[in-house]
């Protein structure tokens, strides 16, 4: 257990990773030290104000995952943990984005004339490029995973996630407008 906040990074990583100690204090200190970086990563993503804390918690989880999977060296740890924070923050943002697109509780409580098929508003996909529409089609209509699309296109999984986040950012206000109409 670390008594001082001045403990070297490599010692904190080793202590937090140690199976024998399962040191929550060391892990908490690492999360505290990387909190400003997590806030910076999330701030650059520009999430909805209501979703900020959820996305920030995703970035914090990225710190924990990075510590658990890292080889324990201090060199390069900051860039390593940044990639994990960004990835987990994107996953959290995807979860809250998909949650925001689901109908509200009041829509579920109203009786429906046709229970088999919900009334889906027409979303103006013309706001997207052909490549973006193709990506949506492959993921949502052909049920391809992000990883499968990335392999097929010869790009990284992160690139597919970023493209989907861009698509969601463009579509969110259009869907809200279509639902309100």
> What confidence tens digit (pLDDT) does each residue in 118-138 have?
455 566 777 888 888 888 888
Are residues 19 and 86 both part of a single domain? yes
- pLDDT by residue (tens digit) across 43-63? 888 888 888 999 999 999 999
- pLDDT score recorded for residue 33: 92
- Residue 99, burial from CB neighbour count under 10 angstroms (0-12, 13-18, 19+): exposed
Are residues 19 and 77 both part of a single domain? yes
115 has a pLDDT exceeding 60: no
The answer to whether the pTM exceeds 0.95 is no
The residues, any chain, with a CB within 8 Å of residue 172's CB and separated by 6 or more, are 97, 100, 101
Is 30 inside any structural domain?
Answer: yes
Q: 111: pLDDT confidence band, cut at 50, 70 and 90?
A: very low
Q: What percent of the chain has pLDDT over 90?
A: 14
Mean of the per-residue pLDDT values of the chain: 78
Are residues 33 and 82 both part of a single domain? yes
What tokens does 67 get? 């510590």
- pLDDT by residue (tens digit) across 63-108? 988 888 887 777 888 888 998 899 888 888 888 776 655 554 444 4
Parent domain of 169: 121-180
- pLDDT score recorded for residue 112: 43
Cα–Cα distance, 40 to 169 (Å, whole number) = 19
Are residues 34 and 92 both part of a single domain? yes
- pLDDT score recorded for residue 19: 59
Are residues 33 and 94 both part of a single domain? yes
CATH of the domain at 62: 1.10.1740.10
**Of the candidates 50, 68, 100, which is a domain's last residue?**
100
């Amino acid at each position: 257990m670390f008594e001082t906040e001045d403990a070297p990074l490599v010692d904190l990583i080793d202590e937090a990773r140690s199976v024998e100690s399962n040191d929550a204090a060391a892990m908490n200190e690492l999360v505290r030290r990387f909190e400003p970086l997590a806030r910076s990563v999330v701030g650059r993503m520009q999430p909805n104000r209501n979703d900020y804390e959820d996305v920030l918690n995703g970035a914090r989880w990225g710190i924990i995952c990075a510590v658990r999977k890292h080889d324990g060296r201090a060199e390069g740890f900051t860039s390593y943990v940044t990639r994990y924070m960004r990835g987990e923050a994107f996953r959290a943002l995807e979860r809250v984005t998909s949650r925001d697109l689901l109908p509200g509780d009041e829509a579920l409580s109203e009786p429906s004339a046709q229970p088999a098929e919900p009334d889906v508003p027409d979303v103006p996909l013309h706001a997207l490029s052909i490549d973006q529409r193709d990506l949506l089609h492959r993921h949502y209509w052909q049920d391809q995973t992000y990883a499968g699309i990335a392999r097929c296109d010869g790009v990284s999984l992160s690139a597919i996630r970023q493209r989907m986040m861009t698509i969601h950012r463009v579509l969110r206000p259009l869907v809200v407008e279509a639902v309100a109409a």
